[in-house]
Each structure stands twice: as C-alpha cells, then as structure tokens.
Amino acid sequence: MVHEDGLHCPKIFCDFCEKQIAESGNVVWLCDLEKDEQCATSILFAHKGCDKQYTSDGAFYLWQELDSFLFYLFNNSKIDFNKAKEHAKLLASF
Ligand SMILES: [Zn+2]
C-alpha cells in the first residue's frame, strides 16, 4: 500500500529490486511436488528479468504473466466485478 495524494493506493512492488511494477511483470513461485502435491506456496512479484537468480534445490521454478495472474485471481475469488467496481467508487474517485 502506498500513500499518495491523501489516498492509500494498492500497488505491486518487485520482491527482487523493490521498485514498483507497472504494466508488465511476472508472478513467480517454487514448487516441490514431492513435498507438497497441492503446491500451496507463497508467490513473489517480479519485473521480467529480476527473477533470473531465483532458484531452489529440488523445486520447480514456475511463473505466470502478472496480467493473467490478476485475472485468474479475480475470477477464482468469485468476486462480482460490478459490485467490486461500485464498492471501489465509494472509497475513491478515478
Ligand atoms: Zn524488479
């Protein structure tokens, strides 16, 4: 969350260089199916290229484009888009 112009604005920052991610980026995670079949793991946000050194012994490195990740997250959250838009309008103006 970033405080700008009197508002608290949700933004995404790269977990590797700590700068804001705008437009394109990746979501990355490590998955070791031998330890966890569900691959329930934490994710990291990254600029494209900032995550090149991200590795771990025995785990698969996986990634997804940030735009599709956010779309799937929204869809999997079962949030009604129109209700969410109206709720956001109550909190801030665009
Ligand atoms: Zn970065």
- The tens digit of pLDDT for each residue in 44-77 reads 999 999 988 777 677 788 999 999 999 999 999 9
Please give the residue range of the domain that contains residue 59. 2-91
- E strand or H helix at 65, and its extent? strand 60-65
d(CA 40, CA 63): 14
pLDDT recorded at residue 93: 58
User: What count of other Cβ atoms lies within 10 Å of the Cβ of residue 5?
Assistant: 5
d(CA 45, CA 73): 14
Going from the Cα of 14 to the center of ligand 1, the distance in angstroms, rounded, reads 5
> How many structural domains comprise the chain?
1
- What is the reported pTM? 0.82
Going from the Cα of 80 to the center of ligand 1, the distance in angstroms, rounded, reads 32
Going from the Cα of 89 to the center of ligand 1, the distance in angstroms, rounded, reads 30
